[in-house]
């Protein structure tokens, strides 16, 4: 028969050592959880801010060039490009092909197209073709082509005037 | 002596009487207050004496202040809150609405036996607890006299255990290791002469017939005469006939 043991004391009893240890472990776990939760919240808040910042910040609108500015810029680019163009290889090629049977009348250079338009006079068509052939072999020349020729009847020597289109190497 | 001494204090509360004991020191205070709650101001004054300061206290309550009930067998094991609800319902059935506010404790028994409950006035229990806490006690027990006296009763009561204190008789019937019957009532002068009739009445009221053995346990009622009854085997448990009243409970 179990002993009668009625106890009307209602205040919490003193915790045992094991209960105290469990309490401490529980408190530590709770603190760790709270810390982890807070850290997660902070990280989430930080990411939200970064997302919001990325959404709000638009790349600065590039100033739309006004037409005058565009033309000036193009001109400046052209000039800069022309100044930077190395014409020396073309001049060297012409110097190498100089001879007495062909006379160079004019030279029109197009830097944008890397082309030369040469107008020259020769005694005969064969002399002109030979000269164009030698020009074709120069290092600075990619291609040289006879685009037009005519005999000048108004001159006493009746020279052959011809036009050569030269494409210069890069 | 340091207030943190391990020597506990025992307090006995009975109608008109407060007894205190700690180590070799005892003190009995008589008062006109007979209600449990009315005893507390006097107890508070007594505990102001540094001689009673310690961490551990046990309060023994007269059965005058305790009500018992034995519920019908629940038939299955119940969780503690349902056991308490069943005991409270049993008390309400007997004592009415005031029982709703009583502090209730349950003595669990196997499902085939009823639950034995004990109750004291809730306001008194709360005030006593608060008083003891305020007086610096940290290990507190508040027990009815029956709880302490049961330590000196037969370990297994197969029959009847009568617990007598001045002006009150508690009746506990047991069989097969379970409590089967409980009752308590005030008694006046000449109560010993009426014991055979009282027991006969309780035997008739019990749901089951219990063994015909009776242990008479007197605490603070002076000398006891073992009743003679042809139908029952009476025994009187050892007691100090010189001690009267609550003082007798201090040495249990």
Domain annotation covers residue B186: yes
Distances (CA, A) of B246 to B78, B148, B167, B183: 36, 13, 12, 21
Place B1 in a pLDDT band, splitting at 50, 70 and 90.
very low
Q: What share of chain A is helix, strand, coil (3-state, %, to 5)?
A: 45, 20, 30
Please check whether residue B238 lies inside any domain of the structure. Answer: yes
- As for how many domains chain A has, the answer is 2
Of the candidates B230, B229, B228, B225, which has an alpha carbon nearest to the alpha carbon of residue B241?
Answer: B225
Q: What is the domain extent for residue B159? A: 154-249
The Cα B159–Cα B238 span in angstroms is 18
- Count the neighbouring beta carbons within 10 Å of the beta carbon of residue A78: 12
Do both A47 and A91 map to the same domain?
no
B125 and A8: CB-CB below 8 Å?
yes
Name the percent of chain B in helix, strand, coil, to the closest 5: 30, 35, 35
> Is the same domain home to A157 and A90?
yes
- Closest Cα partner for B113 from B68, B164, B180? B180
Domain assignment present for B58: no
CA B22 vs. chain centroid, Å, equals 21
| φ, ψ dihedrals at B115, nearest 5° | -90, 135
Confidence (pLDDT) at A61: 62
Q: Residue B103 in 3-state DSSP?
A: strand
Rounded (5°) CA angle A136-A142-A144? 45
**Is the Cβ pair B107, A2 closer than 8 Å?**
yes
Pairwise CB contact (< 8 Å): B151 & A3: yes
Is A75 inside any structural domain? Answer: no
Q: Look at phi and psi of residue A113 and say left if phi exceeds 0, alpha if psi is from -120 to 50, else beta.
A: alpha
Residues of B within 8 A of A15 (CB-CB) are none
Residue with tokens 């049961």: B150
Q: In chain B, which residues have their Cβ closer than 8 Å to the Cβ of A6?
A: 105, 107, 118, 143-144, 146-147
User: Which pLDDT belongs to residue A11?
Assistant: 60
Domain boundaries, position A120: 86-168
H or E stretch at A57:
none
The C-alpha atoms of residue B245 and residue A88 are separated, in whole angstroms, by 136
**Is residue B61 in some structural domain?**
no
Chain A residues with CB-CB distance to B118 below 8 A: 4, 6
A26 with A100, same domain: the answer is: no
User: What are residue A144's phi and psi, to 5 degrees?
Assistant: -135, 125
Q: Which two tokens stand for residue B108?
A: 């669990």
Which has more confidence, A114 or B11? B11
Q: For residue A129, is pLDDT > 60?
A: yes
Which residue among A1, A3, A14 sits closest to B178, beta carbon to beta carbon?
A: A1
Q: Is residue B68 part of a domain?
A: no
User: Which 8-state DSSP code applies to residue A124?
Assistant: S
Spell out the alpha helix ranges (H) of chain B. Answer: 36-46, 80-95, 122-134, 145-149, 195-205
Contact (CB, 8 A) for B139 and B151? no
pLDDT tens, B98-156? 999 999 999 999 999 999 999 999 999 999 999 999 999 999 999 999 999 999 999 99
Q: Is A5 in contact with B147 (Cβ distance < 8 A)?
A: yes
Determine the average pLDDT of the residues in A118-145.
91
**Which residue shows structure tokens 């400046």?**
A76
Checking if the pLDDT of B4 tops 60, the result is no
Separation of alpha carbons B134 and B60, rounded Å: 19
Asked if residue A13 has pLDDT above 70, the reply is no
Mean pLDDT of chain B: 93
Sequence-separated (6 or more) residues with CB below 8 Å from residue A61: none
pTM over 0.95: no
CATH no. for residue B201?
3.30.420
Average pLDDT of the residues in B70-75: 94
CATH code: domain of residue A135? 3.30.1360.100
DSSP A99: B
Pair A108, A38 in one domain? no
Q: Does residue A77 fall inside a structural domain?
A: no
Model confidence pLDDT, tens digit, residues A73-104: 888 887 777 777 777 888 888 888 888 889 99
Nearest CA in chain B to A10: B129
d(Cα B31, Cα B14) in Å, to the nearest integer?
10
**How many folded domains does chain B comprise?**
1
Angle B43-B45-B48 (CA atoms, 0-180°, nearest 5)?
110
* Same domain assignment for residues A101 and A48: no
Please tell me the predicted confidence (pLDDT) of residue A59. Answer: 63
Position B228 in a domain: yes
Task: Tell me the pLDDT band of B86, cut-offs 50, 70 and 90.
Answer: very high
CB contact at 8 A, A160 and A101: no
A8-12, B17-21, B228-232, B240-244: which range is least confident on average?
A8-12
């Amino acid at each position: 028969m179990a002993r009668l043991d009625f106890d009307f004391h209602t205040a919490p009893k003193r915790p045992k050592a094991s209960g105290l240890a469990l309490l401490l472990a529980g408190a530590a776990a709770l603190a760790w959880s709270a810390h982890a939760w807070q850290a997660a919240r902070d990280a989430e808040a930080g990411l939200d801010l970064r997302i919001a910042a990325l959404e709000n910040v638009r790349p600065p609108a590039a100033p739309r060039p006004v037409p005058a500015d565009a033309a000036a810029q193009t001109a400046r680019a052209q000039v800069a490009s022309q100044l930077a163009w190395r014409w020396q290889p073309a001049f060297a090629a012409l110097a190498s092909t100089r001879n007495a049977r062909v006379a160079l009348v004019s030279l029109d250079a197009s830097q944008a197209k890397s082309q030369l338009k040469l107008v020259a006079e020769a005694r005969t068509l064969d002399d002109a073709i030979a000269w164009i052939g030698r020009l074709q072999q120069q290092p600075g020349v990619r291609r040289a082509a006879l685009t037009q020729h005519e005999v000048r009847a108004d001159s006493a020597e009746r020279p052959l005037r011809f036009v050569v289109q030269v494409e210069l190497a890069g | 002596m340091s207030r943190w001494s391990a020597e506990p204090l025992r307090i006995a509360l009975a109608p008109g009487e407060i007894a205190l004991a700690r180590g070799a020191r005892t003190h009995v205070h008589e008062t006109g207050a007979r209600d449990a709650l009315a005893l507390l101001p006097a107890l508070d004054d007594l505990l102001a004496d540094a001689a009673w300061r310690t961490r551990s206290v046990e309060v023994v309550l007269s059965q005058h202040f305790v009500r018992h009930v034995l519920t019908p067998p629940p038939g299955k094991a119940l969780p503690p809150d349902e056991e308490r609800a069943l005991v409270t319902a049993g008390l309400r059935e007997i004592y009415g609405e005031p029982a709703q506010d009583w502090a209730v404790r349950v003595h669990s028994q196997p499902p085939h036996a009823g639950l034995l409950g004990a109750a004291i006035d809730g306001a008194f229990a709360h005030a006593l607890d608060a008083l003891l806490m305020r007086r610096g006690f940290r290990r507190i027990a508040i027990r009815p006299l029956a709880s302490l006296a049961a330590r000196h009763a037969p370990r297994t009561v197969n029959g009847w255990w009568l617990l007598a204190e001045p002006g009150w008789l508690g009746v506990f019937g047991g069989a097969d290791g379970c409590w089967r019957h409980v009752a308590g009532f005030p008694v006046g002068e000449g109560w010993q002469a009426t014991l055979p009739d009282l027991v006969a009445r309780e035997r008739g009221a019990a749901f089951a017939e219990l063994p015909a053995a009776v242990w008479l346990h007197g605490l603070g009622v002076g000398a006891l005469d073992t009743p003679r009854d042809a139908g029952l085997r009476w025994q009187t448990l050892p007691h100090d006939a010189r001690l009267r009243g609550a003082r007798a409970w201090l040495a249990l």
